Amino acid sequence: MIALGWVTVIALPLAVLTWAMFWPQPIPPERSVEGIRRRIEAEDAMQPVRNPQRRTGRIP
């Protein structure tokens, strides 16, 4: 009976810890691929690029 108690005391916290570590976290809509794509398209639509070299980071 004592062995069952020790198994419960050790196994239950380990099971909860394992569950918490491997449970997938929900991805917020603004961090999904589609959300990022919409944000980039909205930013591009708001203001035109005046200096394309500055945007790409290339220096001639």
Q: Which two tokens stand for residue 52?
A: 């394309």
Contacts of 60 (CB under 8 A, 6+ apart): 53
Q: What is the pLDDT of residue 51?
A: 60
Encode pLDDT of 9-50 as tens digits: 999 999 999 999 998 888 898 899 999 999 999 988 887 656
Q: Is 54 exposed, middle or buried (0-12, 13-18, 19+ CB in 10 A)?
A: exposed
32 vs 56, more confident: 32
